[in-house]
A and B are shown apart, each in its own frame.
Chain A
C-alpha cells in the first residue's frame, strides 16, 4: 500500500518478528528486523526508518532504554511500543517519554493497521509542514530585496550576521528604500522566524492611539474601551516588533518605549498587572535622528537603545547599477500578477530610468514599472510608457523669473496635451482666448 514507508521491527521473539513482517509486507511496507535493542541502536546509526515497532520487554537493553537511544539517533522516527497486558503501565510511561503509542500483543489486526496509518498520516502532515516552512523561509530570505551594487551586498552580509542575534537594529534610509523589507529579512532569518512579525507605523498614528496600539488597554481604560485589547508588544511576544518611522513619535511615547526596552515589561493602559514580553525590536526611520537629538525632539537614551546595530539603505540614485535588476524583477512580478507576457525595456527607456533621480526610491521605480505595464501596449516598455519621458527626465533648470516660469509652464502643458488648446486651457484654469493671448505674448511655437 505504501512502499515508501520503512518500518523496523525490534523483538527478541522470532515468531513475532516474522509474523509481523509478513503481515506488513502484504501492505507493501519496507521491513527490517532486529532481534534486540543493541542491534536496533547500532542499525539506526546507519539507516533511517519512518516507524519502529519496539518490544518493551527484551533481554539486555529493554524497550525504554532502546527507545531513548533510538530517539537520540533518529528523533524524527516514530516509535510504536509493543507490550503484553502486564506491562501497560510501562507502555504508558513510554508514551510520556516520546513513543507515539503502544499496541498490546497479540495485536488486533484492525488496531495495528489503524496505528500505522495514523503515523503515516501524521508524518505526511509533518512533512507538508516542513515543506511549507521551507517555502516561507526561502521567500523571507532575501528575494524581496534586490541589488547587485556593493552597498546592497554589504547590507545582505550585515543582515545575515545580525539576523541570528537578538540585537535591536535601527534601519535608516529615505522613504521607499525598502526598510521594512530589510526588517522582514532579519526576522525571517532569525530563530524567531516562526513567531509573529508585527509592524507598527508610528508616524501614521496620533500619540494617544499609538500608545494603545503598542501597549493595549484594559476594558474601561478610556471612553470607548469596551473590551480588553492586546497591544502590539504582546502580539509580537517571542517574535519581532518592527517600529517604522520611529523618528516621528512624541517625547511622551519615547519615554514609555524606553521603559519597555529597558525593563522588557509594561502595563496595558488602565491595567495594573505588569506584562513581560520577549520581543526583538527593529526600528526604522527616514529622519536624521542625530539632528533630532540636537534639536531635543528625540531622546538620546532611546536612540542609543535602538541603535545597537544600524543598517543604512542608500537611496536608489546612489546605486544606479541596481536599477536595471530591480526593473526586471518588478516586470517579472507584475507580468505574472497581470497575466501578461514578460516585456523587455528598450535601450532608450533604460537610459531614462538610469538618468532619473528617483526621489521616491525603489517604491517609485516599482510604481512606474507597474504603470508602464498597465498603460503600455507594445511588447516592450518604451520611453513613451514612462511618465517622466517628456516632463521630468531630465528637467531643465527652472527659470527664476516669474514671466519666464509662466512661459515654460504653458509650453509644458501644451506639450502634454499635444497642443490641444481646449484641454490645455482647462488644465491651466484659463479660457481659450487667454491661452491664445499668452501663446502670442510669449511667442510660443509648436515644436515638430
Chain B
C-alpha cells in the first residue's frame, strides 16, 4: 500500500467478493508506477441483489456502477472496484470491466482473466498481467480516454482475452500524453 495519501489519490476496493490483499497491493504499486497516482486500498463494498441477473447468472456492471455512484462518496480522484463476479451489460454477453467515461467510478472483473476460464493451466504472472492491463484500461476511460488504434497500447479495445494478452501494460505515447492532460485537468 502507498503510505502517503494526497487529495489526488485513487481508491481501490473489493466489490461483492473477497480479493487477495497481495493482488490489491501490487495493483496499487502498478498504478503508482504507471500513472504517478497514489492509491488507497479500502474495505470491501457489498452490492445489492438488484445487481444480480438470475437468468444470465451474471452481475450487471452498469447497476454496480450506479450503486457505487449513489452510495459511495469517496474523496478521491477515482474509485476502482475489483470483483471476482462475472460482469455483463444488458446488450453484451460479458464485459471485463466498465467505467464511467470521464467519471469517477470503474469496476473490473477478474472472472474472465483467470487462465483457467479458458481451460488453460494456472499462470499467476499472466493472470496479474491481465489484471494490470484491464485496470489501467478502465482507469484510462475514467480519465476520458477512448480506445486507441495502436494494438500494443493498453487503451486498445479488448474484445477477446487475446487482445488483452497482446497489448502492453502501458499507454502508447499519444494516450499517455492525453492521460497526463486529463489527469492535470482532473486535479
Binding site for B on A (CB under 8 A): 1, 13, 15-16, 18-20, 22-23, 25-28, 105-110, 112-113
What 6 A-B pairs are tightest by C-beta distance, nearest first? A19-B89, A28-B146, A15-B90, A20-B91, A19-B90, A19-B91
Interface flags for B130-161 (1: CB within 8 Å of A; 0: not) read 00000000000100001111000000010110
- Which chain B positions have C-beta within 8 A of A107? 91-93
CA–CA, A22 and B146, complex, Å? 11
- Whether the Cβ atoms of B92 and A1 lie closer than 8 Å is no
CA–CA, A242 and B128, complex, Å? 73
Residue of A nearest to B146 (CB): A28
* Interface status of B85 (Cβ within 8 A of chain A): no
Question: What is the interface size of chain B, counting residues whose CB is below 8 A from a CB of the partner?
Answer: 21
Given A106-B88, A109-B159, A110-B160, is A25 in contact with B93 using a C-beta cutoff of 8 Å? Answer: no
- Whether the Cβ atoms of A26 and B90 lie closer than 8 Å is no
- Whether the Cβ atoms of A27 and B157 lie closer than 8 Å is yes
- Which chain A positions have C-beta within 8 A of B93? 106-109
- Whether the Cβ atoms of B149 and A1 lie closer than 8 Å is yes
Picked from B56, B62, B98, B159, the residue with its CB within 8 Å of the CB of A113 is B159
CA–CA, A82 and B116, complex, Å? 32
- Which chain A positions have C-beta within 8 A of B157? 1, 26-27, 113
A150 to B: closest C-beta gap in Å: 57
Q: Which of B60, B62, B93, B141 has the most CB of A within 10 A?
A: B93
A108 to B: closest C-beta gap in Å: 5
Q: Which of B90, B95, B98 has the most CB of A within 10 A?
A: B90
Binding site for A on B (CB under 8 A): 56, 60, 62, 88-95, 98, 101, 141, 146-149, 157, 159-160
Residue of A nearest to B56 (CB): A106
CA–CA, A20 and B89, complex, Å? 8
- Whether the Cβ atoms of B90 and A106 lie closer than 8 Å is yes
- Which chain B positions have C-beta within 8 A of A20? 89, 91
A379 to B: closest C-beta gap in Å: 48
CA–CA, A16 and B62, complex, Å? 11
CA–CA, A18 and B93, complex, Å? 15
CA–CA, A107 and B159, complex, Å? 12
- Which chain A positions have C-beta within 8 A of B95? 23, 109
- Whether the Cβ atoms of A19 and B159 lie closer than 8 Å is no
- Which chain B positions have C-beta within 8 A of A13? 90
CA–CA, A15 and B146, complex, Å? 21
